[in-house]
Amino acid sequence: NRFFDVNLVRKDFPIFQEKVNGKPLIWFDNAATTQKPQSVIDRVSYFYQHENSNIHRAAHELAARATDAYEAAREKCRSFLNARSVNEVIFVRGATEAINLVAKTWGDENLHAGDEIILSNLEHHANIVPWQQLAGKKGFKIRVIPVDDDGQILLSEYAKLLNHRTRLVSFTQVSNALGTVTPAMQIVQMAHSVGAKVLVDGAQSVSHLRTDVQALNADWFVFSGHKVFGPTGIGVLYGKEDLLNDTQTWQGGGNMIEDVTFEHTRFHKAPNRFEAGTGNIADAVGLGAAIDYVNKIGIDAIHQYEHNLLQYATGLLKNIPGLRQIGTAPDKASVLSFVFEGYKTEEVGAALNNEGIAVRSGHHCAQPILRRFGVETTVRPSLAFYNTTSEIDVLIETLYRLRKARK
Ligand code: PMP
């Protein structure tokens, strides 16, 4: 194709040499986690072979190398998000930890009985449970933006939920269960117009769409490294610098302090303020390499290629009798979700696995949105730029075979 050569790109990913049940691996579980290019694997390995040290503290050579590598990765994340400053990039374990951090610091300090926060019906459990836990403690109210029958957020209903009690709007940019791309910019603007803060969950968006946190203007933006071709156990909380520095600390310990006595501690500013203890240094460096890789291909080329792939798959799935696609918004990224007449979703998952195809069949940690469509689980193939139309053909053929076997 004219965007990039997918067959060349696939050579960068050693896992595509794997066979599953004697068949070439077809990785359609990208919404759960993505595969890693050799450059990321090599970068983490290089760190342990040549740079390994704790950061920031020691005067020796390896401490300097490790610190440089870690801070260079922070700069890569800054640039990837188009944040104003590296001080706005906090390394955390992933999207889940980032949301919990905001809930347990800013949320704990600013949300009280009588207040309201707004989530959308599309949210992953990671953007529901931390707020529910806090609401149980503090007594504020959670309101939910409904979606239409295609799985897109209803802005008119959202507008009705916003009022002077709204302190926070927290929502996903791309639904992990349906693939809906939400009108994030508009949601942020509307929240700000009533003085609410906004958190955008970018866990499913960063690997598919260009991110620009300054244009988006959200107060916080979160993502996980493992969903953007980087290692597990590392992710980013972006926050506006003044807001981060005005927010109470979370975990206490080394690295986040300026001065400690038994009576009193003075804390660093962001980002160190929120990075207590020894973090996941090697995997942060690996995330930096993943961002380099994405930049090399180009996120806009990725977006265009995946869009075509998604259109191709959607069109073919539509023709399969007894197959119901869930999530049919015009603006979608990467995710296909469906149920298949006569089969339990796990049976479809198992049949696909026999052909070497990895999909998730389950509730995708987003039970409320599946229940909105009257189902408990779906089959969810989710795509990335290394997937091909011929892989989709294998999926479609397998589904037709299942359909026949049913009769
Ligand atoms: N939000 C969304 C939209 C997600 O898809 C996920 C991961 N499935 C998360 C949050 C949580 O990410 P993690 O498990 O990497 O913390």
Residues 138-164 pLDDT 10s: 999 999 999 999 999 999 999 999 999
Catalytic residue, chosen from 365, 375, 400, 403, is 365
> Quick one: which of 178, 179, 183, 210 has its CA closest to 198?
183
Q: How confident is the model at residue 1 (pLDDT cuts 50, 70, 90)?
A: very low
Measured distance CA(175)–CA(124) in Å, rounded: 8
Task: Clarify whether 77 is annotated catalytic.
Answer: no
pLDDT in tens, 299-320: 999 999 999 999 999 999 999 9
The pair of structure tokens assigned to 221 is: 């933006």
Residue 58, pLDDT score: 76
Give φ, ψ of 171 to 5 degrees: -150, 165
Nearest-atom number in ligand 1 for the CA of 126 is 10
Q: For ligand 1, atom 6, which residue shows the shortest CA distance? A: 203
Residue 190 clears pLDDT 60, i.e. is over it: yes
pLDDT in tens, 256-301: 999 999 999 999 999 999 999 999 999 999 999 999 999 999 999 9
The rounded Å distance from CA 400 to ligand 1 centre is 31
79/255: higher pLDDT: 79
Ligand 1 pocket mutation, candidates 101, 174, 176, criterion most atoms within 8 A of CB: 176
Average pLDDT for 209-235: 98
Q: What is the DSSP letter of 182?
A: P
Nearest-atom number in ligand 1 for the CA of 98 is 16
> Quick one: which of 305, 316, 307, 314 has its CA closest to 386?
305
Measured distance CA(306)–CA(384) in Å, rounded: 7
Structural domains in the chain plus CATH codes: 6-30+298-406 (3.90.1150.10), 42-295 (3.40.640.10)
Residue 407 clears pLDDT 70, i.e. is over it: no
CB atoms within 10 A of CB 16: 15
pTM for this model (two decimals)? 0.97
Mean pLDDT estimate for the chain? 97
